[in-house]
Chains A and B, each alone.
Chain A
Amino acid sequence: QSALTQPPSVSGSPGQSVTISCTGTSNDVGSYDRVSWYQQSPGTAPKVIIYEVNNRPPGVPDRFFGSKSGNMASLTISGLQAEDEAVYYCGSYTVRSTYVFGGGTRVTVL
């Protein structure tokens, strides 16, 4: 199975918005609303910030917003803050009852 496609990096100034795309296929992202997003800071385990396309776990700020259209999911971070600097990964369930991740996107706060 091929990894989902994410841009290697995005950047923005504090207070701005950035959007990370996650492109899959009809075998994964396009087939189910089972897309999740993870935030990973250096030296730590990933943390789920979005599940089932657009749901936030308790404690995750509403600045994080997930969406999906067709085979592409997106994560938007609005009101960018310095603490949002991290690598973000999307993940999706697939038609083969497996899971696949994206390659990761590094978010830099300028």
Chain B
Amino acid sequence: QVQLQESGPGLVKPSETLSLTCSVSGGAISGYYWVWIRQPPGKGLEWIGYIFYSGNTSYNPSLKSRVSLLLDTSKNQFSLKMSSVTAADTAVYFCARLTSSWDAFDIWGQGTMVTVSS
């Protein structure tokens, strides 16, 4: 059974770069789209972007200038980098799998809280 686990710093200073990694276990990265979604405290879900196993990416237009997604097939991991963070980027960050057969996010990590504060 495929499982996802986010990892990375829980605290990031304003103007710095947020870096998170999602480790995929129980299955291969190939053949799927891999996604980051975030949820500010008490608020709704925001789609950040996806990366296909081939390396193709798509980003939320509102975040595109600050976000990049990378894939490391040798480690079965994918990562998120978000630059120039502010307090508005404080959120729980989820990694998830987008399956084209359902066109839905079918597997999610448990989420990791990232706070932007000095």
Contact = CB atoms under 8 A, between A and B. Distances in A.
B27 interface: no
Interface string B1-41: 00000000000000000000000000000000001010000
A51 B94 contact: no
Contacts of A103: 44
A71 to B, nearest CB: 18
A23 interface: no
A96 B60 CA distance: 10
Interface string B52-65: 00000011111000
B44 A102 contact: yes
A3 B60 contact: no
For chain B, give the interface size range. 20 to 34
Chain B, interface SS category? strand
A45 B110 contact: yes
B94 A45 contact: yes
Contacts of A100: 47
B48 to A, nearest CB: 10
B104 A98 contact: no
A93 B44 CA distance: 17
Contacts of B87: none
24 contacts: A1-B60, A1-B62, A36-B103, A36-B105, A38-B105, A44-B110, A45-B96, A45-B110, A46-B45, A46-B94, A46-B108, A48-B105, A48-B106, A51-B102, A91-B104, A93-B103, A98-B47, A98-B58, A99-B98, A101-B44, A101-B46, A102-B44, A103-B44, A104-B44
Interface of B: 35, 37, 44-47, 49-50, 58-62, 94, 96, 98, 102-106, 108-111
